[in-house]
Chain A
Amino acid sequence: MTGTVINIDRVVKRFGTFTALHEVSLDIAENEFFTLLGPSGCGKTTLLRCIAGFEPVSGGQIRLHGEDIAPLPPFKRPVNTVFQHYALFPHMTVLENVMFGLQRLGWSVVDAEGRAKQALELVHLSQFLKRRPGQLSGGQQQRVALARALAPEPKVLLLDEPLSALDLKLRQAVRMELKQIQRETGIAFVFVTHDQEEALTMSDRIAVMSDGHVQQIGAPREIYEAPANRFVADFIGETNLIEVPVLGISDGMAEVSLPGGRALRCPTPLSRAVGQGVLSLRPERIDLCPASEADLTVIATDQVYLGTDIQLKAQLAGGQEMTVRLQNAEATRLPERGTEVGLKLEAGAARLLSA
C-alpha cells in the first residue's frame, strides 16, 4: 500500500439545521481510483465539494499529504475537478480552456500551450484545439473537461458524476478510458456516482454512503460479497432480505434458522449474538433443486425474461417475495406459475446482517 494523499478526518457539514455529513472519516491512497457511491442526497457530492473547497466544512479536517487544507479557498488547493455538466468556459477555445489553470499557476503561454496539447492528446482531442465548447458533442466536451482538470497535474482529481450526462453506449466506453487514464497518469481519482455498475467496474476501492454516513469502505468485490450491513447489501446489486432467528454467532460465522425450519451456517460481520437478524440472499447464487434437498420452499409467482438471465419471482410461505436469477441456458426448465419450487442456496449466497 502506498501513502495516503487525502485524509478526511471527522468532517462534518451542516446546511442550516440539516446535517449533510456526520463525522465522515476516510483515507484515499496515492494512485488510487476511489469512488464515493450512494443514492442521491447521501452526501457524496457534498464531500467532494468539501475536498474541492466549494463548501466550507462545519467541522473536522481534510489533510492533503498531512497538511490541513480545509481553511484554504478552492484556488489554493492543488486538486482539480471535472464537473457534472463540465462547466467549460464558453467564450474560450478548447485549447484556452485547458491552458486556463496552467496560466493561473504562472506558466508561460508557450509552456502552458505545450502541456495543454499533451493533455488533449491524452484524451484524443488534438484535432479540436481551436473549436469552442459549443461546437463539440457532449462526449467531446467531457474529454475537454477531463483534459482541463488533468493539465495542472493535481495531487487529486475530483470527478462529480462526469458520465451521467452521456448516453449509455458512450458511458460504457468512457468508463474504461477513464480507468486507463487514471493508471497512465498515476493521479488519485475521487469519483462520485450513484451508479453501482460504474463504481464496481472502475474503482480500486469504494466508499458506500447514505444519509451523510460512510456505510462501508472496501474493494468492489468486498463490498458486493461481504456487505457490512443491510443498506450496503440492498444498494449494491440485487438481494433478498429475509428476517430470520439467529441461533448463534462465532468467529464470523452465524447459524440461523431458515423459514421452513432448516438450519444454515453463513458468514456475518456481526460478532455478538442477536435474537433476530436479516439474511441477505444474492439471487444469482440460488438455484432450483428437488424438494428433498431444498433449503427453502417457495411458490413460483412470475418470471421476467432478461435475455442472458431469467428472473424468477417467488413467494415464501409467510408471503414474503423472493427473486431468483437463473442463467438462460437451453436446459433451464422454469416452474409453472403457482407450483411449489425447491431452492438451493449455493456457497456465498447468504450473509447474516443486523436487522
Chain B
Amino acid sequence: MPVASTSSGQKAWMRRTTSGDLAVWAAWLAGVAIVVASFEIISQATIWAFVWDAPTQGADLIGRMFPPRWSYLDQLWKPMWDTINMATLGTGLAILLGVPVAFLAAHNTTPSALLVRPIAIFVIVASRSINSLIWALLLVVVFGPGTLAGILSIALRSIGFIGKLLYEAIEEIDRTQVEAVTATGAGRAQVLAWGIVPQIMPAFAGIAVFRWDINIREATVLGLVGAGGIGMQLQASINVLAWPQVTVIFALILVTVVVSEWLSARVRHAVI
C-alpha cells in the first residue's frame, strides 16, 4: 500500500510500507550477523602463525624464483606445442560432437522433444559437470599418460560448453526467416542449412574461438595429472624445487594465453 493520503488530502507515495521497511532492515541485520559468525568459525580453524608468516614465506619463494633460468626455454618449445595441439584438436573434436548435440537439444530443431531432447540435454549436463582435470585423471588411467588423454578430456569437457551455448543460440533465432525458407518448399535439411545455419554462424564462431581460448589455458594444467603438455614440465620442476624453471614456464604460459586471447578477439571481430 505505497500510496496513501496525508492529512491535507494530498496523495503521498513511499517506496515501501512500514512493515516492508522493517523486513528489509531485518534481512540486512541477519546478513551482517552471518558474516560475523562465519568469520569467527574460520578464524578458529586457521593457524594464524602461518598466516602472519605468509609475507616472509612469499618473499622467500619469489626470491628463489629469480632470476629465471631462461636457458630452460629450449626444453619447453616441444611441450608447449603439444599443449596448443591438445587444445586445438580437443576443441575440433568437441565441435564435431557438440554441434549435432546442440541441434538435438534446441526446442525448435530437436526431432523429438520427449525422447531425443532429454538425452541431448543429459549429454550436455554430464559433460559440463565434470572438470577437464577430472576427465584427464580418469582418461590417463584408461589411455595411459600422454597427449591423447589430454585431447579427449578437453573434448569431453567442451562438448557440453559448445552444446549449451549453441543450442541457446539456435533457440533465439528469428523464426520468420525459417518460415520463409519453409514456404519455398525446401526440405528439412535445406531449411536447416538456409534458414538456421546463417543465423547462428556468428554465435558459433564466437563460441568455438572462445572455447579454444579457454582450452589453451586448461591444457597447460592437464600435464599435472599426466595428460601431456607443459603441465608435465611444470610438475617436474616443482617436484625438484627448481623455482627458476617454474618462473620460465609461468612466463611462457602467460605469453601463450595473451596471444590466444588476442587471436580469438580478432576472429570474433572478423566474423560478426
Answer yes or no: do A and B interact. Answer: no
